[in-house]
Structure 1
Amino acid sequence: MLPRRKSRPLPTAIFLIVATYVLFFWLPKTQSFRRLPKPISRQDTTIRSDAIRLNKVAEKYPVKEYIQLPTGSATIPRIQYEFPEETSSERRQRLKRRDAVKSTFMHAWNGYKERAWLRDEVKPTSGYHTDSFNGWGATLVDSMDALVIMGLDDELELALEALKEIDFTTTKSKQVPVFEIIIRYMGGFMAAHDLTHGKHPILLEKATELGEMIYHAFDTHNRMPSVRWDWTKSAKGEEIRPSPRTSLAEVASLTLELTRLTQVTGDPKYYDAVQRVMNELEIGQDKTRIPGLWPTWLDMDRMDFEDSEFTIGGCADSAYEYLPKSHILLGAQTDKYRKMYEKAIKAFNDKLLFRAMTPDEDQHVLFAADAIGLRGNSQTLKYSADHLKCFMGGSVAIASKIFNRPQDMYVARGLTDGCVWAYDIMPTGIMPEIFKVSHCQELDHCPWDEEKWMSDVLSRSIDSEETREAAEDQIEAEKLPPGVTEIKDPNYKLRPEALESVFIMYRITGDKKLQDTAWRMFQHIDKATRTKFGHSTIKDIRHSKPRFEDKMESFWLAETLKYLYLIFSEPDHISLDDYVLSTEAHPFKRPDAIKHSKPSQ
């Protein structure tokens, strides 16, 4: 007879409790994410098989001799800070934050997979879908490199399989927005191709298919593009003309994507197409009403640069962003972009840069004004700040390193801190789309003056108790934080620009306080914008519980969350010394000709 085992309920229970505690609280954790099964294609099945298609069409204005990629040997100074080894506690906190961003990404990605697979965007509140960019699956393609960066291999496989269903020869849309298509689709394909080291041939196949299609938009009498391109005219062999009124950004922000396509395929026509545009802009740079800057609106048909509006914000932003980045992607083998940047940054510093007046006089808060250029080399300024201008801090920082302009780092940090300040002063912790501020006469001396602020709010002097009360009433009614004089557009559109500059500034300076800044911004954004099927633009950042607009553009996944993920990743993950990031945050591999100089701190 077997001996009976003694019962030990108390020691066993204690052991199980201790083991559970160790398992859940001490052992390293891996983040798990809800993964949906293979998504249902929601392609637009109303496109008929006999629809108009853009296949091989004879060019009306063929190029006789292509502009070739520059060759030579050059050195670009190191961009990134030499980060020391982190402590174990720093690593735990960083990984916890990184995984929280990844979880938020998966929430939005799953909403798109479930409700809008192969359409351009999911409506994050209602769960419907919409096609904003010709119906070729903008969110899917724009997000592919983010899937690689975040190690979401299973999701990437689903996306790669879905690419077979995208047909770039036809669309129900009458016009093709050339700039948006190139930065979202071409950028998505080329970055995913670079990050996976050419492992997936379909990425380059689709990039080339799109390149062949979009190249027809440059088939005009002067080879300047039709940026709102009526593609059916080209498909039917009819003539198209360059856009008589186009934004600066739309024509001057195509260089990275099409240059990279030429670098990878060896086909010179894509680089030729964008260099012809940039050659014209280089000629016109000194002939504008504010020499060094280009007007916001251009006539590319008559090559007219006479418009009077100037900004580095919406409709112009990425034109200036791409000057130092094109220099990097071309391996510093031409001085064209350095010279153009140096003229632009001088005009920017002299004409547009200003300091905002804030109660904390130690805050170094810089912004960029808008200008109306008058004849005779004079201008009037509008001291408005907008979210799209927030890219400038990061761009100036990169240029400061690669062009050896250390004096500009003061400006770069001030522009970045200005956008962070704009986040921190709002009730939701989120910056509005467009607002105005009280400005200082000097960058280095900016004492707080409450009466000046109130007079700026009313646009008239505070000369009586009545006008003071009127100012106070307006400040209260419009919920204006000290220093802010008007909130012209209180929306938040899930934009990435402020976080983009925080990311770049962190990678360049190594300032770990910027990681805390990014975490604070992320928490506020996630809280205010999260919906059932993703994250939505919000109507008014002044309300603690803002209303949703049921809109989630592809850049939420492609840019905003990618920058956040990279801020909390190892510094050599997508290093700025290995990749150049496009205006849509797509990393393109820098050419092998680049040789990094000795690290500097």
Structure 2
Amino acid sequence: MSLSKLLLGAIRKIRSVLLLCVTISLLFYYTFKNEIDMLNSYAENEYLPSISNSPIEKNHEIPNLIHKPTKQISLKDPVILKEKNKYFPLLLTSASNDPTSSLLDPTAIEKSHLSYSEKYPVLFEFSLPHFNTADDSDHPAHLASDLRHLSLQEAKFEDAGSLQGNNRLKIKDLFLKSWRQKDFQISPDLWPIDLIDSLDTLYLMNESQEFNDIVERISEIDFKIPPRNMPDIIDIPDISAKLLGGLISAYDLSTNPILLTKAKNVADFILRSFDTPNRIPILQYAWKSDYNNRFPYKETSIGELSRLVLPFVRLSQITKQNRYFDAIFRIITRIERSANQVPIYSLFPNIMDASSCKVLTPEEVSTGDHQKNSAIMRSIDKDLKFVYCHQVEHFITTSNKIELDSKLISLYDMLPKLNALTNIDVHTLDSETEINSKKLYHDAMKHISSLLKFNPVHGSALNLTILSGLETSSIYSPTRNELMVQLRRNFSFNPESCNLASTLVYGQNVYKLDTENIKFAGEIIESCFRLSQEFNGLLGKLSLDPCQDESCQIDVQHKLNNIISGKYIGFDEGFGESKIIDLKGKTSEANEFDENLERTFSTVNNEHFKNIKLSASDIDLASSKWAKQPELPLWINSFQDISLLSPNIIKSMFYMYRLTGESKWRKMGATILDLTLQHLQENNNGAKGVWHISEYNSSSDEVPTYWLSQTLKYFYLLFSDTDDYSLNSFVITNSGHLMKRADTVL
């Protein structure tokens, strides 16, 4: 090699090294300068001294590092609050009592929100593991077994699983009538959330021309940032489940690239709500606010958080971009780390503190505890005062109420579906805990069956199995390392609890647990079906009495005597005396509690009289009926929030049929369909026999979106050929959106 070439090569290497050195030097310089600017901001009326680049003059007195400011500041001044909020996050209870909502500058709402810089960027992204179809050598040994070939749907059906054309025609006619009645409008001033929520149903119904026309019009909408006419507060679970989930589902079905582009735009906007100190999203996201340095709210629905999981994971699979999975994985790990921190292991209350902040007391601050732990961050509370937040690695229990509504059930519904979608147990990726989704799911279902299930008094041979709501009261004994949990059921029936049947049967097929879950699921959905028949297709929230003997038949005179004598006293603040029940649980993770913590459970005495308050004025003694609702059977104490069009029953019937192969579920579904049609035609008649579609007793003629995106979809799939959209090939989210099970993952 010639000397000139050697010299040229040396010059190139030197140039590369110099360029690298200059880049690193500039990086350190600007990083240090940003730190100086931040500390100067802290120092304004704070405890830290101001720092400048100027050298200290000779004989200049060094400032006292613990000097207390003489000038007091008020964070209620919007200008000061805005400046301080750049560095100190807001720690608020909920969106409904946000003190900054009254401090908004109206002109700020009009400014551009297109540019966004994260305050808490992710340094290292979690990623889904890579599967090699030819060689599984990259498959980490600690993960659960490969689920790519997991068969979920039953292979043999009692009725051969063939298409039932007559029922499908009824359903499609209902859908088209509902679609045209709703008359969707597409405008650049609003995101068409309801339209996109129902778009995949339109595709399933083979309305390809209208589907393509809508996609073309959607292509003209900007989904990078909401239009200014959108509400000041965005419901993140709602747009994640309906808008993002609808776009991904429509893409998975049609493979139209426009839908994928729009889905990425929506997801990138949603990721802004994850920009919090613990990277848990703010579910009620004030996207227009200038005060956007915040923790997630202290009152957060744990079930609503889980609604974000499947759409983001599926988007990560399709795009091969880990940032979508990373965001969700942080929710998943925090859920699993919280399973030991609730009174009933793995059974979460509906509301928890997602900020994970334990506020230091004034005494702890006075002794300097706030300076001893890097996990402690100075924050601004709901009273617009400075506090110190100690961040823990789990959600904090703040509520003692457990109700199996659709929000909470969606958490347990997500667990097996996440396994099916990713072909692994994602929970095993968290190396800091030994828990997996199977254990979390199994323990929760076991506790639901043991603690929430009851048989109500009724007026005929209904043989009902109902899931009650529950309240807890806990006392921890450190000397015995025991958590004594007192339980009080409310003996209510929530129609949304019918959804648990689908969760039970799906989880059974994923986790291959004992068949008791299928039996339990059958009891739940059969009871929901019988109640629906009892009220001609209607279902609502019921207050009931638990059985006192094997017959469960109502004794009218005994019931009247109990009401008159004042035994129905309703809930009070305390729990009262209790009786021990035969159920104990041990935990495996030590965080707030010792790893050998033992839980004991007891129920309050006479709890069946505490679920509702009744008196002699509530009954008509002459007729032995309810005074205000004589048409209501005496065995039902109250009947509220009545619904006709909800998917609660038909969803579980669809899953029971596809996952067991038993034809009775199709027959029950046909009965529910006929009852619904009959009710709509009889009670929604208009001129010349024209009838419209609306929810029961609704003041509006508006067609609810769940009727199009879920109820009619489940009806249609129930009577379709079972090879159509098989559960072996698709996962259906809790919001009713179909997503492909990938052959390979990232």
Tell me if structure 1 keeps the 8 A contact 2:619–2:625: no
What are the superposed Cα offsets for residues 367-392 of structure 1, whole Å, 9 maximum, x if unpaired? 21111111131111011111222110
Tell me if structure 1 keeps the 8 A contact 2:554–2:635: no
Give 2:555's match in structure 1, choosing from 435, 450, 454: 450
Tell me if structure 2 keeps the 8 A contact 1:296–1:316: yes
Equivalent residues in 2 for 1:143-158, closer than 5 Å: 143-158=198-213
Instruction: Give the AA of the match of 1:329.
Output: L
Partner in structure 1 of residue 181 of structure 2 = 111
What are the superposed Cα offsets for residues 195-251 of structure 1, whole Å, 9 maximum, x if unpaired? 12x2x1111001000011110000011111110000123xx6842331221222221
Equivalent residues in 2 for 1:168-183, closer than 5 Å: 168=223, 169-171=225-227, 172=229, 173-183=231-241
CA distance in 2, matches of 1:520, 1:119: 39
What are the superposed Cα offsets for residues 250-301 of structure 1, whole Å, 9 maximum, x if unpaired? 2122111111111111111111111111211111112112222111111111
SS of corresponding position for 2:643: coil
Aligned length: 510
SS of corresponding position for 2:625: helix
Give 2:258's match in structure 1, choosing from 196, 202, 216: 202
Change (3 A) 1:203 1:479: same
Change (3 A) 1:52 1:182: farther
SS of corresponding position for 1:414: helix
Instruction: State which drifts further: 493-502 or 330-339.
Output: 330-339
Partner in structure 2 of residue 536 of structure 1 = 694
Partner in structure 2 of residue 100 of structure 1 = 170
Partner in structure 1 of residue 629 of structure 2 = 477
Tell me if structure 2 keeps the 8 A contact 1:457–1:486: no
SS of corresponding position for 1:165: coil
What are the superposed Cα offsets for residues 74-133 of structure 1, whole Å, 9 maximum, x if unpaired? 13653322235958xx968x20110110010000111233xx32279xxxxxxxxxxxxx
What are the superposed Cα offsets for residues 541-565 of structure 1, whole Å, 9 maximum, x if unpaired? xxxxxx6543322211110000001
Tell me if structure 2 keeps the 8 A contact 1:190–1:203: yes
What are the superposed Cα offsets for residues 322-374 of structure 1, whole Å, 9 maximum, x if unpaired? 1221121121344532222112112211211222344554x553221111111
Higher normalized contact order (CA 8 Å, seq sep 6+, divided by chain length): 1
What are the superposed Cα offsets for residues 381-428 of structure 1, whole Å, 9 maximum, x if unpaired? 0111112221101110111122112121111001111211121111x3
Q: Mark the runs of 5 or more structure 2 residues left unpaired by the alignment.
A: 1-106, 131-138, 140-144, 358-394, 429-435, 475-483, 569-613, 685-689
Give 2:471's match in structure 1, choosing from 361, 369, 372: 372
- Taking every aligned residue pair, what percent have the same amino acid on both sides? 23
If you compute each CA radius of gyration, which structure gives the higher value, 1 or 2?
2
Change (3 A) 1:157 1:232: same
Tell me if structure 2 keeps the 8 A contact 1:506–1:514: yes
Tell me if structure 2 keeps the 8 A contact 1:326–1:337: no
Q: Does 1:320 align with 2:412?
A: yes
Give 1:310's match in structure 2, choosing from 385, 402, 406: 402
Tell me if structure 1 keeps the 8 A contact 2:453–2:468: yes
- TM-score (ref. length: structure 1): 0.78
What's the offset of the Cα at 1:504?
Answer: 0.6
Change (3 A) 1:397 1:108: same
Change (3 A) 1:220 1:569: same
Partner in structure 2 of residue 221 of structure 1 = 277
Tell me if structure 2 keeps the 8 A contact 1:109–1:534: no
CA distance in 2, matches of 1:338, 1:572: 28
Q: Does 1:294 align with 2:345?
A: no
Tell me if structure 1 keeps the 8 A contact 2:626–2:634: no
Give 1:65's match in structure 2, choosing from 124, 129, 144: 124
Aligned residues: CA RMSD: 3.1
Instruction: Give the AA of the match of 1:69.
Output: L
Tell me if structure 2 keeps the 8 A contact 1:506–1:515: yes
Q: Does 1:350 align with 2:464?
A: no
CA distance in 2, matches of 1:456, 1:249: 38
Partner in structure 1 of residue 530 of structure 2 = 421
What's the offset of the Cα at 1:475?
Answer: 7.8
Equivalent residues in 2 for 1:201-600, closer than 5 Å: 201-233=257-289, 238-301=292-355, 302=357, 303-334=395-426, 335=428, 336-361=436-461, 363-375=462-474, 376-405=484-513, 406-426=515-535, 428-432=536-540, 434-440=541-547, 447-451=552-556, 460=567, 469=621, 472-474=624-626, 477-481=629-633, 483-487=635-639, 489-492=640-643, 494-529=645-680, 535-539=693-697, 548-593=699-744
SS of corresponding position for 1:556: helix
SS of corresponding position for 1:286: helix
SS of corresponding position for 2:125: coil
SS of corresponding position for 2:341: coil
